[in-house]
Structure 1
Amino acid sequence: MKLICVTGMRGCGKTVFGEIAKSLGFLVYEMSAVVRDMMNAEGIEINNRNMREYAKRIREEFGKDIVAKKIVERINAEKKGDGVIVVTGIRGMYEIREFKEAFGEGNVVLLAIHSPPKMRYERVMKRETKSDDPKSYEEFLWSEEMELGYGMSKAIALADKMIVNDGAIEEYIPKCKEFLEKIKG
Structure 2
Amino acid sequence: MSSKVYVVTGMPGAGKEEFAQTAVSLGYSLIRMGDVVRKEAANQGIIMDDRGVGGFASDERQKHGADIWAKRCLPYIEHNSVIDGCRSLEEMSLFKEKFGKDSILIAIEAPAALRFKRLQQRGRSDAPQTVEEFKERDLREIGWGLAELIKCADNTLVNDGSLESFYEKVKKEIDYD
What displacement does 1:161 show?
0.5
Superimposed CA distance per residue, residues 50-77 of structure 1 (whole angstroms, 9 cap, x where no aligned partner): 11101100000011100100111223xx
Q: Secondary structure at the match of 1:90?
A: coil
Which residue of 1 is the match for residue 8 of structure 2?
Answer: 6
Which residue of 1 is the match for residue 144 of structure 2?
Answer: 150
1:113 matches 2:108 = yes
Residue type at the aligned position of 1:130: R
The partner residue of 2:164 within 150, 159, 170 is: 170
TM-score (norm 2): 0.94
Structure 2 unmatched ranges of 5 or more: none
In the alignment, the residues of structure 1 paired with residue 54 and residue 11 of structure 2 have an alpha-carbon distance, to the nearest angstrom, of 13
Which residue of 1 is the match for residue 49 of structure 2?
Answer: 47
Which residue of 2 is the match for residue 78 of structure 1?
Answer: none
In the alignment, the residues of structure 2 paired with residue 173 and residue 29 of structure 1 have an alpha-carbon distance, to the nearest angstrom, of 19
1:159 matches 2:161 = no
Which residue of 1 is the match for residue 119 of structure 2?
Answer: 124
In the alignment, the residues of structure 2 paired with residue 71 and residue 158 of structure 1 have an alpha-carbon distance, to the nearest angstrom, of 21
In the alignment, the residues of structure 1 paired with residue 51 and residue 4 of structure 2 have an alpha-carbon distance, to the nearest angstrom, of 33
Residue type at the aligned position of 1:12: A
Which residue of 2 is the match for residue 93 of structure 1?
Answer: 89
In the alignment, the residues of structure 2 paired with residue 94 and residue 163 of structure 1 have an alpha-carbon distance, to the nearest angstrom, of 22
What displacement does 1:120 show?
1.0
> How many residues were matched structurally?
175
Q: Secondary structure at the match of 1:154?
A: helix
In the alignment, the residues of structure 1 paired with residue 71 and residue 119 of structure 2 have an alpha-carbon distance, to the nearest angstrom, of 28
The partner residue of 2:24 within 5, 22, 47 is: 22
In the alignment, the residues of structure 2 paired with residue 85 and residue 119 of structure 1 have an alpha-carbon distance, to the nearest angstrom, of 27
What displacement does 1:12 show?
0.5
Superimposed CA distance per residue, residues 86-118 of structure 1 (whole angstroms, 9 cap, x where no aligned partner): 1010101100111111222x1211000011111
What is the RMSD of the two structures over their aligned residues, measured on CA atoms? 1.2
Residue type at the aligned position of 1:25: G
In the alignment, the residues of structure 1 paired with residue 122 and residue 128 of structure 2 have an alpha-carbon distance, to the nearest angstrom, of 12
- Identity across the alignment (%): 35
Runs of 4+ in 1 over 2 A off after TM superposition: none
Which residue of 2 is the match for residue 103 of structure 1?
Answer: 99
Which residue of 1 is the match for residue 36 of structure 2?
Answer: 34
Structure 1 unmatched ranges of 5 or more: 76-80
Q: Secondary structure at the match of 2:13?
A: coil
Residue type at the aligned position of 1:155: L
Q: Secondary structure at the match of 1:174?
A: helix
